[in-house]
Chains A and B, each alone.
Chain A
Amino acid sequence: QVQLLESGPGLVKPSGTLSLTCTISGGSVGSSNWWSWVRQPPGKGLEWIGKIYHSGNTNYNPSLKSRATISIDKSKNSFSLTLSSVTAADTAVYFCARSYDFWTDYYPNWGQGTLVTVSS
């Protein structure tokens, strides 16, 4: 059973860069799955940020205006999210998730989520 665990700073200053890592256990980042990030502002709904495949192919939500970058680290069996030029609007619980397979990215597997607050 694959397990995902998000990690990273819980507090980021405005205009700074948010960096999170999702560590995979019970599975491989090299498997035939997309690896995604989804966020949820406090009290609000879910927003898809983007995804990466082990080949390095990525796809992002245009609403983030190119501020998001997702990368893979095969040596650490993990993938990461960086979000630049953050504002208070980026305060959210950030989840990592694994797609069912390459062709169908609904999400049977989720991390527990990590709260990131943007504040000075």
Chain B
Amino acid sequence: EIVLTQSPGTLSLSPGERATLSCRASQSVSSSYLAWYQQKAGQAPRLLIYGASSRATGIPDRFSASGSGTDFTLTISRLEPEDFAVYYCQQYGGSPRTFGQGTKVEIK
């Protein structure tokens, strides 16, 4: 099983600041099969990124992602009020599919 470790656990930032979230895999994620999701309280996760760096339909370009192998990063260039949420990475290259434990981006 591929274990995904996200850091930091919580990121305290102000609107307009840049957020950098990390997702590290216990073994290489094949074909960069890594996705990122945003989840707000009481809602289902929302797909942001797939294939490690491709934005999903309708996702603003302030969200970007990169990485390969075992190290992946999600960047939010300038935080908007609606971006404060929990973010999860998920790998779909190995079985079982696994998620990271999440990074909470909170208002400072």
Residues of A at the B interface (CB closer than 8 Å) are 36, 38, 45-48, 50-51, 59-63, 95, 100, 104-108, 110-113
Contact status A104-B92, CB under 8 Å: yes
B50 interfacial by beta-carbon distance below 8 Å: yes
Near A by CB (< 8 A), chain B positions 5-61 give 33, 35, 37, 43-47, 50-51, 56-57
Q: Residues of B contacting A61 with CB < 8 Å?
A: 96-97
Q: Residues of A contacting B50 with CB < 8 Å?
A: 100, 104, 106
Interface SS majority for chain B: loop
Contact status B96-A106, CB under 8 Å: no
Q: How far is the CB of B91 from chain A (nearest CB, A)?
A: 9
Q: How far is the CB of A39 from chain B (nearest CB, A)?
A: 11
* 18 further contact pairs, Cβ within 8 A, besides A48-B99, A108-B57, A113-B44: A36-B97, A45-B100, A46-B88, A47-B99, A48-B90, A48-B98, A51-B97, A59-B95, A60-B96, A95-B45, A100-B50, A104-B51, A105-B92, A106-B35, A106-B50, A106-B92, A110-B45, A112-B43
Q: How far is the CB of A70 from chain B (nearest CB, A)?
A: 13
B101 interfacial by beta-carbon distance below 8 Å: yes
Instruction: Report 12 cross-chain contacts, Cβ distance below 8 Å, ordered by A residue.
Output: A38-B99, A46-B45, A46-B102, A48-B96, A51-B97, A61-B97, A62-B96, A95-B44, A104-B33, A106-B33, A106-B90, A107-B47
Q: Which listed residue, A45, A100, A105, touches B97 by the CB 8 Å rule?
A: A105
Closest 10 CB pairs of A and B: A110-B44, A106-B35, A46-B99, A61-B96, A48-B97, A106-B50, A45-B101, A108-B47, A45-B102, A105-B92
Q: Residues of B contacting A50 with CB < 8 Å?
A: 96
Q: Residues of A contacting B92 with CB < 8 Å?
A: 104-106
Contact status B96-A111, CB under 8 Å: no
Q: Residues of B contacting A100 with CB < 8 Å?
A: 50
